[in-house]
Structure 1
Amino acid sequence: MGLAPPEIATLYQAACLAELDALKPGNVHAHAAGHRMTVADFVASAAASAPALTQGGAGIGARVRDAVAATRAAVGQNTNLGILLLCAPLACAAERGSDLASVLAALDPADSAGVFAAIRLAGPGGLGRAGRHDVAAAAPDALLAAMAEAAPRDRIARAYGDGFADLFAVGLPALDSARRDGLDPVWCTTAVHLAYLTAFPDSHVARKHGANRAEAVRAQAAASLAGLDLRTRPVARLLALDRALKAAGINPGTSADFTVATLFCDALAGAGARLGTAGAGT
């Protein structure tokens, strides 16, 4: 038995808002705007996209496409494509009472067409061109094939092929560890973001600035945050990194997208959804 769409929508919006409350170096958050976007843009995006993302009985492609369109109508820019690509399979699995592996295995040509349409509509920065499965061309029948092609350069695409392994290996363990350390929810969210930021080069940074720069940003963050104890609420230290990244035009957006998806997945699991993939349960 799955969760009802209104409950899923409530949990999705809560995850989006919780991510905004946390200090996430380089991203938009309650402590500082950035990259020509504000917290209000993301709040409006969460509200606008929630009905489409959680529409009962819809496939993943339709959810993402319609949610991107609703976001564009609300704020006039791409604020949440990565969030939607990660959260749509979670929402779909929760509604069906299924797991992620089954939902991803059932993707069909309509899902592929919907996702490609959503990407074209969102127009994410630094997308470039691909030799095969370019989003400017017709969508392939097999979305997973297109995601596999993009996986080496995009962690969100990779998630579709590996069953959201980063979520289960990085995000959820970081969230659990933060809770065991006694952090409040806002600082737990920061802990999740920092785990992603330092675990691998951010795909959004790589698309806009190149793979070498993305790795340099990951290393810079790891060095800057070495020995950091979030129990001390180190706002000044995190804001210093935040300013440095934004001054350089660096937005680790993929880390933020995975942070929302982690909070959403955790909330769905808390409501009774069974989303775990083989070898990684929640």
Structure 2
Amino acid sequence: MRSPAENAQLAMMLEVCAEVKPGNVDRHHDYEDTSLQHFLASTIFVRPVFKRAENSSDNIGRLIYDAVSVTNTHSGGNTHFGAFILLIPLIAGGGIKGAKEIVKNTTVDDAVMFYRAFGLTKVRMKDSDLEMDVNDPSATDSLIENNTTLYDVMEYSSTVDMVAAEWINGFSLTRKTADFLKNSDNGQKAIIDAFMNLLASETDTFVVKKLGSKTAEKLKNKAKEALDGNISLEELDRICLLKGINPGSLADITIAGIFVALMEGWNWDF
């Protein structure tokens, strides 16, 4: 039987190796600065942190920081920051039920370490996303002074960040994705089906932050066309790559959904 850490690594590997995921790195194409190999390297490098998350007194913020730190040792930059935000409490909690309790009990120390982890990434948020700039040295002082927990940070961000919203809404899209996979008989192809189901029904907040809400809505409509068979996945992928559209938040949620499905017995290898 696989451990939670192994299932988390497997989920990361299965997601990035799936084909075709419009706009995202997969086995057919890389980004200019980040390749499939960088994503796969991260799945290997992060194993010690995931193992600590299984049976550890380390706080969630420290584990997120260490996961980002250890996977930033290659030249591909941030690959899985959003996925770590979801996977680490899911690993520590043994699934969604336990994760719900863990995130509600996060501390100010968790928030401080999360901000430090954010500072290690190339991810940048709009000024309106958080009251405190993660790159401002005084930000962590403000967290301490205001007794702001990591759950508080996620709650504040949840209206503009769908990964943060998962902490607040009980991992609802993660649950939806896991159920989709478990109810599918398409094997590994089910991962693409699950991703496309999300893409056609949810507005990717990473795309909103990078390119605006109109582009994100157009992407969702194009995904619906693809599901209806009016355009191919390959054509949608070409459109995304041409316009620099990267639905990365939905990729992170897909990883979390794969993890939960694996923990609940989903057989990916058939």
TM over 0.5, yes or no?
yes
Partner of 1:207: 209
Q: What is the aligned partner in structure 1 of residue 35 from structure 2?
A: 38
Provide the residue aligned with 1:129 in structure 2. 127
- Shift of the 114–54 alpha-carbon distance from structure 1 to 2, 3 Å rule, reads farther
In the alignment, does 2:193 pair up with 1:191? yes
Q: Please give the alpha-carbon distance, in whole angstroms, between the structure 2 residues aligned to 1:54 and 1:155.
A: 26
1:167 has 2:169 as partner = no
Shift of 1:227: 4.2
Distance 2:203 2:234 in 1: 20
> CA, structure 1 residues 197+89, in 2 after alignment: closer, same or farther (shift >3 Å)?
same
Q: Structure 2: how far apart are the matches of 1:76 and 1:30? A: 16
Residues 1:114 and 2:109 are matched in the alignment? no
Distance 1:84 1:62 in 2: 11
Q: Which moved more, 1:158-167 or 1:30-39?
A: 30-39
Give 3-state SS (helix, strand or coil) of 1:37's partner. Answer: coil
Is the contact made by 2:11 and 2:258 (CA closer than 8 Å) also made in structure 1? Answer: yes
**2:16 corresponds to:** 20
Which segments of 5 or more consecutive residues in structure 2 lack a partner in the other structure?
Answer: none
Report the Cα distance in structure 2 between the residues aligned to 1:171 and 1:143, rounded to whole angstroms: 25
1:215 is displaced (CA, Å) by 1.3
Aligned mates of 2:170, 2:114 — CA distance in 1: 17
Contact 2:63 2:88 in 1 (8 A): yes
Task: Give the residue type in structure 1 aligned to 2:91.
Answer: A
Deviation at 1:106, TM superposition (A): 1.2
Contact 2:109–2:149, Cα closer than 8 Å, also in 1 = no
Deviation at 1:221, TM superposition (A): 1.5
CA RMSD of the aligned region, Å?
2.3
Kept after mapping to 1: 8 A contact 2:34/2:77 = no
Shift, 1:256, TM fit: 0.8
Q: 1:268 aligns with which of 220, 242, 263?
A: 263
Partner of 2:242: 247
Alignment TM-score, normalising by the size of structure 1: 0.83
Distance 1:35 1:82, change over 3 A: farther
Instruction: Return 5+ residue gaps in structure 1 as ranges.
Output: 229-235, 272-282
Residue-by-residue CA offset, 1:47-86 (whole Å, 9 max, x unaligned) = 1122113313122111110010001113451111011111
Identity value in percent? 26
